[in-house]
Structure 1
């Protein structure tokens, strides 16, 4: 296939608030990488959080990305061969991927809440990273492949009617290594740096790790550009790729942007939201020139 460019990147914002300057830089890098490779860029609306996603944030997301000067070839606003591009409309595909994991014995049901996990660990846990699961519901041996007669019910209820999350059983002690395009060589140990993680939630919605792997694979993404806070998630996702027999994409984790106090930018930083910056008369072309110089100095070519 000489002469055919197969690079496929993606923008994958979650409409749980207005995009801020840190999002802008990461998405600009993803756009820039796709342009460097003369590739295809996909916009995917990751709207699985039913409680926090809002239609107005979806509208603002597209408007803000366009205002930044970014463009894409596939997405919810322009269609494409891998539609739908709203993650909430891809439920049947997510179910099929989950059932593949369940039928192969890679996952098991868990009745533990986050509070239960923290109490079992006997120590406080700070930050957004999920704590290492202590194995309360983990079977002693890897579950045998199972066939269920009512798969929809058993995705979120056990035989006793209790609500369950489904966890992926990690291979304790296995080292997961990968070469990140921005952060360099990475190594994590399953069972130490992260434990058995949720892939399907009790409200019958896929967890982030499963949904992202399923959709990046289905959409043929060859490089994932995202924030450095997701490096550990990449280790989990590589295990899912292996369990599903899929080839993973390359990864490029961009350093996070911080405020003047060194605090990572979040959607609560209203003054640095792209909405507020637009209203204040900011000019994104100036950021692009600054980010291009930063990219050349900070990250490998």
Structure 2
């Protein structure tokens, strides 16, 4: 079988200004794509309605171009809800997802990529206690799937049902061999959040995990370059890929950049935002020298 052409992506979320850590990860992704003579997408991960802002979306494009990073095509996740909804239908029809009525705090953790939580050093979605999980073996949830097919659209939260006590292994191109075990490292995880409003047109939103898997598959991503704090997310996403019949790309998880106190950089680090550094007179060459 021939190897598919390299396709990668830059996947910023417009929930704040890009900082040095983002810049290094996106620079590595850009360099790997260009070295492979591949295609590179810019994916605007704008699914967090409470934190995403148009001005941040504009700023991230300007900052990436200022740094010298280019891409070949763009997509915006908020334009792709029907695709995520179709994946949810498929999981429900297979009995691999179920409705969940757990707390809003749990749901908040899936509204954005886990590494966007400024307090977290790594993916930190809570280990689910299975309170809403159906008893017995996985069954075809034909009722909820049928409900989703009609005009009402989903107005509930859904979780993916993971196989119990199952190791998920992969070899990361930078971090090496990895294994995460279901029921220990993570449990049933969120794939769809119920609407925050009573507006009938509000169908809710996919979690980071589901949206990422669908987009990577439908844009034929062959290699995912992102931060090391998302290693556990990769195990979850491999389960979703298998459930949806998608191929699994290769992964390259970059080391995290840290501040002077040893904490992982996050969007709270305004002083290390590319906008701030640029305003203080630094050039793209100065930024790249910090990597």
Are 2:80 and 1:90 equivalent residues in the alignment?
yes
After TM superposition, list the pairs within 5 Å mapping 1:248-263 onto structure 2.
248-263=248-263
Q: Specify the alignment match of 2:218 in structure 1.
A: 218
Check the 8 A contact 1:18/1:273 in 2, yes or no.
yes
Check the 8 A contact 1:15/1:58 in 2, yes or no.
yes
User: Any stretches of 5+ residues in structure 1 without a counterpart?
Assistant: 76-84, 118-125, 157-163, 292-301
Shift of 1:93: 0.8
After TM superposition, list the pairs within 5 Å mapping 1:1-301 onto structure 2.
6-75=5-74, 85-115=75-105, 127=120, 129-141=124-136, 142-146=138-142, 147-151=145-149, 153=152, 155-156=154-155, 164-203=156-195, 204-289=204-289, 291=291
Let me know the Cα RMSD of the aligned residues.
1.9
Cα distance in 1, alignment partners of residues 148 and 41 from structure 2: 35
The structure with the larger Rg is: 1
Shift of 1:165: 1.3
Cα distance in 1, alignment partners of residues 264 and 288 from structure 2: 20
* TM-score of the pair, normalised by structure 2: 0.87
Check the 8 A contact 1:155/1:202 in 2, yes or no.
yes
Instruction: Return 199-208 or 106-115, whichever deviates more.
Output: 106-115
Moved over 4 A (4+): 114-117
User: Any stretches of 5+ residues in structure 2 without a counterpart?
Assistant: 108-118, 196-203
Distance 1:38 1:183, change over 3 A: same
* TM-score of the pair, normalised by structure 1: 0.84
Cα distance in 2, alignment partners of residues 150 and 116 from structure 1: 23
Q: Specify the alignment match of 1:294 in structure 2.
A: none
Cα distance in 2, alignment partners of residues 103 and 190 from structure 1: 22
